[in-house]
Structure 1
């Protein structure tokens, strides 16, 4: 076979491959366009889901109207908590709308959450050495609750431990529950409507707060609407990896 023949064969082969290359490039462009469209649709759906979740988490209009005067005061709010056992993992909001941070003002779990709703119980203290106290002070008007209210004084004057071993002691103590001056404190308490609660929530490296809240509504889907006010913000607690105060005193 002559060089001329070989060259002609090579040219013919290259020309015959051109439609295949063009077709592959067309398919690649189509795939890129399809992926771009899919990404845009997903983003649009995500925004729609977020908007619908906001509706799901919103308090009833009648509650907003009923407590408008109270909500006009500083450091107050009204929220809906969803039952974790029903919604966790089903919403784009981490925690399924069952958690809330009174500092970050978000239901998103992991941003210093101060309260949760699960199995018809309120809870506090969710990760690491974080801990908290809950107390039900009864059918007391939220407006009248202060740091000097009976049952609240202990929480208002409690000194947050800095050493991790001491923080773990408080975790165990609040988990089991204890009594002080005739009042019961625990990290989990059952939900009752028309009852006022107070929570001291310690999130190391984030916040340490005292909040009073009242259950104003419990709906048939298990969600609750909570009216709240900030009683006190303490200095941001920092956890130190050091021996406990008791151990240091004994050494």
Structure 2
């Protein structure tokens, strides 16, 4: 009976023992895998550390821009991003070694193998580890600076209380259901006291009158002064130190991990938006070998204008300062005329500051190489007018001719067609321009009188040139070839 009971019980015992053995083996394997996942493998360490280094580099670039930008939202955004980045780096470092300060204070000894490395870190990993720690400690110095500068930005623009990331209900006295409000740090902060009337375009704006007092469109209106913001030198030194630390540690990463340079990318995007493509000058190298020729990108009128009711740091160079108009004269001289050509709508037009003015003629598909100083490739009536037009010597008469060319009114040139200072923009057409430019003193531009002797000493130029658009981009800008055809005697203002 005992043998019968044991024989019946034996299969269950075998199954139970086998199950316990399998469970023990599975538990041992699972525990081993669990420990392996938390051991810092080389690939995982370099991947995560490379991501943190890249984020830190990008953050440094954003902080540099926020220091010189009047927008309060940008300053507030980088302040929050700095806090998140420092905490993320601390968590990563803590997972690798419990005491970052103790380990990295002996970094010089680690580099010379005078101190033993932690078991889980190699020499290159220890260098990356301490570089992340050192750069984070440097950036952490900027936290009170960013808070202080954010309050200063609050003097320029409205800094609203930041809602929760998940959104907040905004109370409304009329609507029974309050709308959900979300943070919008990517939007520009609303400036204080910068209401600006909608200004007319360059084509319809009233021309200023030089030498006399003229009425303004809005009585007693004074345009708002744009802020002048300079980044604190101590902050720039801190950012440069952190940037240098991260640049030195990039060589410790495997070659397959690469880093992008946000400053280089920003420069490339800026040139892409406003400058020529590198291959364009090479494509027209033969033409550019001719004397007094050039190539440049003609931008839309809006590229040079600050949007209304927005803030701009007046210490930062504008588009016109970063990409100046080509010079037409000798750079060694005190007065150097320029080809200030831009696109207004769908028309080419030169900018006319002071009493400058010009007129242009579309001569069709005529290569620039076939044009000369006598304009023999142009039909006779228009050629004679371009060559023989005499600018007035009286200041008021000079401005009268200026208005005639800009508006097309009251023209008595003995020509059957109206001659304007602008022309429709057409690709692969050649335009001949007569440009008159004067270096008006600042005192005269402000409405103050000057003596007749000072009036006669005003520098000026009278140039006949031609330009030809050879490419049009999707933003409405053109790549233009230009050539100076003739330098006429300089006009004089007698009275």
TM-score, L = length of structure 1: 0.66
Secondary structure at the aligned position of 1:77 is classed as strand
Match of 2:430 in 1: 196
Cα-to-partner distance string for 1:153-186 (whole Å, 9 max, x where unaligned):
4212222222112211211221233576556521
Match of 1:84 in 2: 301
Deviation at 1:215, TM superposition (A): 0.8
Deviation at 1:82, TM superposition (A): 1.3
For residues 367 and 465 of structure 2, the distance between their equivalents in structure 1, rounded to whole angstroms, comes to 14
Cα 1:53–1:82 change in 2 (3 A) is same
**Is residue 210–residue 230 contact of structure 1 (8 Å, CA) maintained in 2?**
yes
2:232 is aligned with 1:35: yes
**Is residue 206–residue 237 contact of structure 1 (8 Å, CA) maintained in 2?**
yes
Deviation at 1:208, TM superposition (A): 2.0
For residues 118 and 97 of structure 1, the distance between their equivalents in structure 2, rounded to whole angstroms, comes to 20
For residues 89 and 49 of structure 1, the distance between their equivalents in structure 2, rounded to whole angstroms, comes to 20
2:391 is aligned with 1:164: no
Deviation at 1:35, TM superposition (A): 2.1
2:448 is aligned with 1:223: no
Q: Which has the higher contact order (CA 8 A, sep 6+)?
A: 1
Bigger CA radius of gyration: 2
Counterparts of 1:1-16 in structure 2 under 5 Å? none
Counterparts of 1:147-162 in structure 2 under 5 Å? 147-149=374-376, 150=378, 151-162=382-393
Secondary structure at the aligned position of 1:100 is classed as coil
Counterparts of 1:1-251 in structure 2 under 5 Å? 35-38=232-235, 53-89=270-306, 92-95=317-320, 100-103=325-328, 112-114=337-339, 115-124=341-350, 126-146=352-372, 147-149=374-376, 150=378, 151-177=382-408, 181=415, 184-204=418-438, 205-240=459-494, 242=495
Deviation at 1:235, TM superposition (A): 3.5
Cα-to-partner distance string for 1:36-79 (whole Å, 9 max, x where unaligned):
1346679xx99997776445433234432332111111111111
Secondary structure at the aligned position of 1:74 is classed as coil
For residues 211 and 70 of structure 1, the distance between their equivalents in structure 2, rounded to whole angstroms, comes to 15
Task: List alignment gaps of at least 5 residues for structure 2.
Answer: 1-143, 146-230, 241-261, 308-315, 439-458
**Is residue 78–residue 227 contact of structure 1 (8 Å, CA) maintained in 2?**
yes
Looking at secondary structure, tell me which structure has more helix per residue: 2
Cα-to-partner distance string for 1:78-106 (whole Å, 9 max, x where unaligned):
11011122453388335488973442699
Looking at secondary structure, tell me which structure has more strand per residue: 1
Task: List alignment gaps of at least 5 residues for structure 1.
Answer: 1-29, 243-251
Match of 2:124 in 1: none
For residues 343 and 329 of structure 2, the distance between their equivalents in structure 1, rounded to whole angstroms, comes to 18
Cα 1:168–1:196 change in 2 (3 A) is same
The CA RMSD measured in Å over matched residues stands at: 3.8
TM-score, L = length of structure 2: 0.36
Secondary structure at the aligned position of 1:85 is classed as helix
For residues 199 and 137 of structure 1, the distance between their equivalents in structure 2, rounded to whole angstroms, comes to 10
**Is residue 82–residue 97 contact of structure 1 (8 Å, CA) maintained in 2?**
no
Cα-to-partner distance string for 1:118-164 (whole Å, 9 max, x where unaligned):
22221135122211111111111111122323234421222222211
**Is residue 125–residue 203 contact of structure 1 (8 Å, CA) maintained in 2?**
no
Secondary structure at the aligned position of 1:213 is classed as strand
For residues 466 and 418 of structure 2, the distance between their equivalents in structure 1, rounded to whole angstroms, comes to 16
Secondary structure at the aligned position of 1:185 is classed as coil
Cα 1:35–1:134 change in 2 (3 A) is same
